[in-house]
Amino acid sequence: MQEFFSISLIITQHLNRSLGGRAGVSLSKVSKYKRGLSLEENTHILLSDLGGSMGIDQDFSQPRNPAITCMNYMLYDFGVFNHQDLSNVSKLRRALSFSNFPWMNCNVTHPMTKEPFFGEPYQVFKINGMKLVVVSGYGGDFIPEEGDRDSTLYISGLGSSVKRWLRYIYDSVDPDYVIVCISDWDDEAAAVLQDMEGVGLVVTGSPEQEAGDGEADGADAGSASAVLGPRISDSKYETFSVPEDGRVPMYHHHHNSQVMHISLNFKTRTSTYEYLGHSVACIDQEVSRLSEDYNLLDLVHYHL
């Protein structure tokens, strides 16, 4: 067991089925970035998506979703839905039937039972003996498809859903560290941040219109450039200090790029794990300069 170790959380969003063979960020280049990280010592990688990468809202008639094929190859660890993914529930269900990794959400529920409609609301990852739990939620609106009077989905209150599952997780799982991932951003998501006892980190996705605006590469979470500005769209990402319980600091990162890297650092104690801090960087420019993962391109060359 490693005494000092780090967890690299790589987060993609709004790739809209950008597989590769193009300028800018693509799944192929993210795959190459992950491969480089895997060579670093004492680093454990979690690869995730905060929505909008499957291209559900685009015209597509093939039986298999090529983005899911790429994500399976890249060994994604989990995904979270956003408004684009929920724009066509039938396409979404078909795409997820081929997914080898979980898509989580605690407040996209059955209309009658109010239980999670897609998979589980959280996932437990055992890393270097530490139990890391990721809880996910959907922070946007849901508009039923045209002609669908009796919607198959119901969006439960985000704040109450997250708090209910956090209580359940601490009662049943006894986690060492908890991350909450919320796709999209609205006023309700902001209110959720005021009551996050026991949570180490909150990460949200962003509306599509904010994705890719501006540049911010390599800033640290504690730096002045990461302090909350007057408006959400004023900076590439922002950090909100939230009332904490004295055990761990908690931040909210507003993520409005296509790929972000959060590095979490820990030290192993006799029976616990000490949180040492983290850094965050929007890495669109760095990833865009990488070469392609040609094994991935060969896998999906018909869709490029």
Pick the residue with more confidence: 271 or 149?
A: 271
Q: Is the per-residue pLDDT at 257 higher than 50?
A: yes
What is the reported pLDDT for 219?
41
Contacts of 208 (CB under 8 A, 6+ apart): 14, 52, 84
The pLDDT confidence band at residue 251, using thresholds 50, 70 and 90, is low
Q: What percent of the chain has pLDDT over 90?
A: 47
Tokens of 202: 């909150």
What is the reported pLDDT for 136?
94
What is the reported pLDDT for 62?
73
**Using an 8 Å Cβ cutoff, are 256 and 211 in contact?**
yes
Contacts of 116 (CB under 8 A, 6+ apart): 104, 105, 106, 107, 108, 109
Rounded Cα distance, 180 and 193, in Å: 10
Tokens of 139: 């922070």
In residues, how long is the chain? 304
What is the reported pLDDT for 168?
94
Q: What is the pLDDT of residues 115-151, one digit of tens each?
A: 888 888 999 999 999 999 999 999 887 766 655 544 6
E-state strands within 121-258: 122-127, 130-138, 154-155, 177-183, 201-204, 239-241, 251-254
The pLDDT confidence band at residue 252, using thresholds 50, 70 and 90, is low
Tokens of 3: 């005494």
Pick the residue with more confidence: 79 or 234?
A: 79
Beta pairing class for 108-109 and 154-155: antiparallel
Q: Is the per-residue pLDDT at 247 higher than 80?
A: no
Q: Is the per-residue pLDDT at 288 higher than 60?
A: yes
Q: What is the pLDDT of residues 211-232, one digit of tens each?
A: 444 444 444 433 322 222 223 3
What is the reported pLDDT for 139?
85
Q: Is the per-residue pLDDT at 48 higher than 90?
A: yes
- In the sheet that holds 259-268, the strands lie side by side as 103-104, 78-80, 43-49, 4-12, 259-268, 273-282
What is the reported pLDDT for 159?
86
β-pair partners for 78: 48
Contacts of 231 (CB under 8 A, 6+ apart): none
Pick the residue with more confidence: 238 or 131?
A: 131
Q: Position 69: which residue type?
A: T
What is the reported pLDDT for 259?
94
**pTM score over 0.75:** yes
Q: What is the pLDDT of residues 159-200, one digit of tens each?
A: 889 999 999 999 999 999 999 999 987 666 667 777 777 888
Rounded Cα distance, 200 and 207, in Å: 24
Q: Is the per-residue pLDDT at 302 higher than 80?
A: yes
Q: Position 24: which residue type?
A: G
Q: Is the per-residue pLDDT at 242 higher than 60?
A: no
What is the reported pLDDT for 115?
84
Pick the residue with more confidence: 69 or 221?
A: 69
Q: Is 90 helix (H, G, I), strand (E, B) or coil?
A: helix
Tokens of 162: 């997250």
Residue 125's Cβ-count burial label (10 Å; 0-12, 13-18, 19+) is middle
Please provide the DSSP assignment of 14-61 as one string.
--TT--SSSSS--HHHHHHHHHHHTTSTTEEEEEEE-SS-S-TTS---
Q: Which residue has the tokens 């605006």?
A: 213
Please, what is the average pLDDT of the chain? 81
Q: Is the per-residue pLDDT at 20 higher than 70?
A: yes
What is the reported pLDDT for 225?
26
